[in-house]
Chains A and B, each alone.
Chain A
Amino acid sequence: MNPSEIKKMLISSMNADADPIEVFRRLKDEGISYDFSKSFGDKVLDKLFSAGLTINSEMEFVKSMNFAFYRIALTGAAAILVLLISIFLMEGSLSFNSFLGLSDSYNESIVCLLTGN
């Protein structure tokens, strides 16, 4: 097909009653074809995979952080429990003064210290 015939065909292909399949076939016969590079599919899969690996490594980090948090929280809870037991054994109660290390007998001494009498 010479250029003027190609141009005529292209213009007539836009008629509403023209068969688009026939137009497509004729253009294909004229050597009009489109494709991407040979490595196109691999590039897409690489991009998807590498993105997946990044997400996976991020997920692993979050999981390890969660694990570390639970271990720290459990250790902390155990330490608080030991502290409460030791306070109870030493002071005989778990009152506010016991937590501050003050027993009732100290009240008078404190008043003496504060007033000087």
Chain B
Amino acid sequence: MIKESYNVTEENELVKASLDGDNKAFGEIITRYRKMVARTVRGMLGDSVFAEDIGQEVFIKLYYSLSEFRGEAKLSTYIQKIAVNLTLNEIKRRKRFFSMFSQKGNNEMHEFEVADHDTEERNEASEIVNKALTAMDPKFRVIVTMRMLQGYSTKETAEILGLPLGTVLSRLSRAQEQLRNILEKL
């Protein structure tokens, strides 16, 4: 898997130092994993103005739940689970919000998501990936994000999402079908 992988002992020391109130240690954790979180959050939410807020929320939640981290799993997996859960919650919240005002809630949500681009220049490949991802069903979007943007295997994806391997493989196949349909229209 392509991820920021660090020495486990060193990571556990950073966690311990953060728990002891060393803010520099927690700052180091943020520096190490911010891009990984950005890939998940921005991949699933698009370049929404809320993506950065959700990213901040991920690390704030991590800080307050560090005492529950036992060091049995990798810290990156632990952070990834928080990021996925918070992003899915945000997608659900937005879906509810938009459906209150319009029956075409999903379409409006997608327009809203892609409308806000930050200052960094986007190339063509980025545009295609972002448009395809934001048009996908959230349950497929998370699978595609884990695979394409994080480089996780199906087994690792299953572990992060807390799903059986068979379910992930089935969703992967359906996600491919949906992706094909979306990309044909782009």
Contact = CB atoms under 8 A, between A and B. Distances in A.
Q: Do A and B bind each other?
A: yes
A11 to B, nearest CB: 5
- Chain B interface size band reads 35 or more
Interface stretch (A22-30, A58-66, A71-79, A87-95): A22-30
B129 A32 contact: yes
Contacts of A40: 30, 34, 52, 55-56
Contacts of A37: 52, 118
Given A14-B172, A20-B151, A48-B63, A34 B43 contact: yes
Interface stretch (B9-17, B67-75, B102-110, B141-149): B141-149
B125 A32 contact: yes
Nearest to A11: B180
B34 A24 contact: no
A34 B30 CA distance: 15
A13 B55 contact: no
The prevalent SS among residues of B at the interface is: helix
Interface in A1-19: 1, 3, 6-7, 10-11, 13-16
Q: Which of B31, B176, B186 has the most CB of A within 10 A?
A: B176
A7 B186 CA distance: 9
B47 to A, nearest CB: 9
Given A6-B128, A16-B172, A45 B23 contact: yes
Contacts of B179: 10-11, 14
25 contacts: A10-B148, A10-B183, A14-B147, A14-B175, A14-B176, A16-B172, A20-B152, A23-B147, A23-B148, A25-B151, A30-B123, A31-B123, A31-B126, A34-B149, A36-B34, A36-B37, A40-B55, A41-B27, A41-B31, A43-B56, A44-B59, A45-B23, A45-B27, A48-B26, A48-B60
